[in-house]
Amino acid sequence: MLTEIQKMWQIFAVSKDSVLELRALWPKGSGENRAPVFRHFITANYPSIPKMKEAFETAALDLNRRGFNIYTPMNPIRSDFTGPGCVKDSDIAFRDLLLVDIDRLGDTKL
């Protein structure tokens, strides 16, 4: 899974002013009732961009091992974002990427 996370860095631009958000949700229908987890990674809080990326990767892998589904907003978060809580539409600096998610017809749980 680490390799898949690292591929993300080929798509996401990370600079000295970047803010990334890691979101973790418990799988729907799992029987667990856990609150979502939101973690923010602000490049300025790390000694280098590679260290921030490493912290993001470590947190993502840990949450995934614990059973959470993880994802991150695709578009750049405003550099002045400080939280708390998850990023909202107004916190997005601009739209650069668009995800198209097409599910097949019928029961998607199969």
Per-residue pLDDT reduced to its tens digit, 2-32:
788 888 899 888 999 999 999 999 887 666 6
Burial class (CB in 10 A: 0-12, 13-18, 19+), 4: exposed
Give CA–CA dist 41/61, Å, rounded.
15
Give CA–CA dist 58/84, Å, rounded.
21
Nearest Cα to 12, choosing from 43, 36, 39? Answer: 43
**Predicted model pTM:** 0.82
Long-range contacts of 60-65, Cβ-Cβ distance < 8 Å, separation of 24 or more: 60/5, 60/22, 61/1, 61/2, 61/5, 63/22, 63/24, 63/37, 64/1, 64/24
Q: What is the pLDDT along the chain (110 residues), one digit of tens a residue?
A: 778 888 889 988 899 999 999 999 988 766 667 788 999 999 999 999 999 999 999 999 999 999 899 989 989 999 999 877 889 999 999 998 887 877 777 776 65
Give CA–CA dist 35/63, Å, rounded.
13
